[in-house]
Every structure is written in structure tokens, then in C-alpha cells.
Amino acid sequence: MRPVIITANWKMNTSPADAGPLARSIAEATDIAGVTRVICPPYVALAAVKDALTGTDVAVGAQNVHAESKGAFTGEISAGMIADLVTWSIVGHSERRRDQLESDQLIGRKIVRLIEAAIRPLLCVGELLEEREAGRAIRTVEAQVRGALEVVVAEGHAVPADLVIAYEPVWAIGTGRTASGADAAEMADAIRATLAEMAGVAPAEATAVLYGGSVTSASIGEFLDEAAVDGALVGGASLKTDEMAGIVARAGITAAARSLVAGVAH
């Protein structure tokens, strides 16, 4: 049974002073059995959030790492530098692909650094509007998954068994357009098909795929109704305790239903 995961991406919001109290508030409001919770604050707030979450089972994640382990890279942060602060890290977020022009190959090198630092990677993939309208959505996402993971394999590593992938329909983020649960499920199936070719059917089926398209407490149900979708990467709504409470509560219903089905099956 795949886990149900809700990950909060705070992006460039919060300071060390307010991040800790917000993280604690969210942790207390989302203590729902069966849901894996991760909060990814800015680098400067990682220590404050880690301290605030002491005694909870909410994990701390980074929003990015550099593709090298050390060196003359002014202003950058390596995986090793934050290995004592986080257990997860996002890589390949659509905003970094757009603003920093990150390639699949560069993102693959970041995953290698995360493997070396024993940090769980959350790989983001997703197509632009023009790619969807041209009928290239599935092909684009498959290429992003393959492009990153081929680098991992080429550097002597297996596809990480703890890999999580977030599908971000870039065309549905902050544009007023919306993706459907069926859209997300179709892409999750395509992602797992690519993983199956690279790592085998069983590991592919065990890989959690999240939805990451401007999800809210009002919209999360449509995506979690899809068996292929295992949770969400939450952006703006993750800065609001009540929104996160609603999202995780709905995720808890899915987790309970999956547990029940798994119990009946055995």
C-alpha cells in the first residue's frame, strides 16, 4: 500500500521568527493517522522549523539543493550542509525549471547528491500549456522522469526506493485554469510506466505520485479520489493552518480507506 503524503512548499515566504510557530500550528492541526506530512520552509527557517516540530512526526524538507557537494558556488546550499536539518528535499520544481533554466540532467545530479546525503528526493515534473495543447503532455513528463533518473543510474546508483514524484501541471498553476483528477491520474500512470521500464514494475507501483497544481482544501478531494494519486505538494495553501487542516483531513479519509482495502485483501 502506497503512503498518503501531504507536503507543504512554503517557497520564499516566512522568516525564522514566524516559521516555527506556523509549523507547530500546522502540526497540531493535522495530526491525522495514516498521513505522512512534510514541511519545506526556506533554508533560513529550517532550524527553527525543525525545533518547532520536535516531538511530532512531521518531517522537514528543503526546497532545493545544489548539484555539487561543495565548491566555489557563491550563495548555494549543498545537500550535505542541511543533512542534519532535513530528511526530504524537493528537486526540479517548475519554478526552478522556469526561472533558473534547470535541465533534467542537472536535476538528476541533484538527486545523486541527495542519495549521497541520505535525504529523500521529491522530484517535480510537469508540462507547459503549449506542450499540453500540442498533445505532448505525457511525452514531456516521461522525458523529464527519464532524463533525471538516467543521470542517477549513470552515476552508479539505483533509482531510489524512497523516491516520490510530484506531477505539476504548469499550465494550471496560478493561471486560473484547472487540471482534473483524471488529468492527474493519467499522468501518474504515465510516470509509473516510465519508472517500470527503468526500475521494474514492483518499485514503480510502490512509488508515491503526488499532485502539485495549486491544490486547496476545496479541490483536494477530486485528486485523492483517484487511486493513482497519493497526496499533494501544496503551495500557497500550505501557509494557512486551516487550509492544511482541511487538506490533511481529506487525505486521512483516503489513507483510512486504503488501509481498510489492504486489510480486506489480506
Catalytic residues: 93, 168
- Answer for the pair 18, 244: CB distance below 8 angstroms, yes or no: no
Closest CA to 234 of 220, 214, 207: 214
Give the separation between CA 14 and CA 174, rounded to whole angstroms.
20
Residues 6 or more apart whose CB falls under 8 angstroms from that of 161 comprise 203, 206
User: What Cα–Cα distance (Å) separates residue 199 from each residue in 65, 149, 158, 247?
Assistant: 24, 10, 8, 31
How far apart, in whole angstroms, are the C-alpha atoms of residue 204 and residue 227?
A: 14
Crossing angle between the packed helical segments 241-265 and 16-29, to the nearest 10 degrees: 40
Location of C-alpha cell 518531517? 59
C-alpha–C-alpha distance, residues 266 and 261, integer Å: 9
Give 82-108 as a DSSP string. GTTT-SEEEES-HHHHHHS---HHHHH
Residues with Cβ within 8 Å of 186's Cβ and at least 6 positions away in sequence, in order, are 138
How many residues belong to the chain? Answer: 266
Please report how many Cα atoms fall inside a 13 Å half-sphere around the Cα of residue 216, on the Cβ side: 8
Q: Are 62 and 40 in contact (CB under 8 A)?
A: yes
